[in-house]
Amino acid sequence: MSDQYAVIGNPIGHTKSPLIHGMFAEATGQDLVYTAIEGRPGQFAEDAASFRAAGGRGMNVTAPFKLEAFAFATERSQRASLAGAVNAFKFEGERVLAENFDGVGLTRDVVSNLGCALRGKRVLILGAGGATRGALLPFLEQGPAELVIANRTVDKAQALATELRDHGALRGCGYQDLEGQGFDIVFNATSASLRGELPPVPATVFTADGLAYELAYGKGLTPFLRLAQQAGVRQLADGVGMLVEQAAEAFDWWRGVRPETAAAIARLTVPLC
């Protein structure tokens, strides 16, 4: 019988994870089946335990269950612990091992696929939610000159910066504090683009030779990316590379082989127009 893996989320109908992991399995000769599970609100633990009891070997976790997944785990990596959120499980006997590959996948996409080094750069992240928490440690490990978190609720951004202050040059602020500041790389980690909205960021934060990166994927030219384009930014990207790269990290963790990612990224890429 093939090894069983799954992704759990709600809603889950849009997920590309079964396609991605199917491509990885075929390319690496791994015998596995990867499915999608529509998790029930308030019953994440029961749903995850049911999949595990049925022989599941590992599981990806997406919104809105990453915090519940953190509580479900018996052992957490440093990345997962610092993020306070989990996006992947490995089931080994009584152990539920937890990881967070979101930030690792995002960093790999930016540095390796897009050729944009973070070292010595001024980096801005919009939003202080789970996506930002998962990205901070991998970003700081790259050695940026400064990493700034901007959020509507200033206290939340500042608290997050304080929590990780020992890992690098990090500060939190409100959107209104960004006036007059420019950054080499700007990430939109808010949910605004999912609603077709623009976070309240001034166009002056962008630099023409920098990178504007939308963590949402498959949305084309979002309001955030359109603002960056109008500000003269020449390198725009969405989160498809992050999606595929974090999947490759999980696949390697589960199976001991890291698949090539270029084909999956190419297949899922939507033109930014």
Domains of the chain: 3-100+243-268 (3.40.50.10860), 103-238 (3.40.50.720)
Beta bridge partners of 186: 124, 212
Write down the pTM of the prediction: 0.94
Cα gap 137→54, rounded to integer Å: 34
**Residues with catalytic annotation?**
66
Do 206 and 231 touch, CB atoms closer than 8 A?
yes
Q: What order of strands is seen across the sheet that includes strand 185-188?
A: 170-173, 146-150, 122-126, 185-188, 211-214, 235-238
Query: What percentage of the chain reaches a pLDDT higher than 90?
Result: 87
pLDDT reported for residue 82: 84
CA within 13 Å, CB half, 16: 20
Q: 95: pLDDT confidence band, cut at 50, 70 and 90?
A: very high
Cα gap 236→248, rounded to integer Å: 23
In this predicted structure, the answer to whether residue 84 has a pLDDT above a threshold of 90 is: no
Do 144 and 169 touch, CB atoms closer than 8 A?
yes
Type of residue found at 172: G
pLDDT reported for residue 10: 94
In this predicted structure, the answer to whether residue 60 has a pLDDT above a threshold of 90 is: yes
Do 255 and 266 touch, CB atoms closer than 8 A?
no
Mean pLDDT of 53-69: 94
pLDDT in tens, 197-237: 999 999 999 999 999 999 999 899 999 999 999 999 999 99
pLDDT reported for residue 222: 96
pLDDT reported for residue 156: 96
What CA–CA distances, in Å, run from 107 to 139, 225, 256, 271? 7, 19, 21, 21
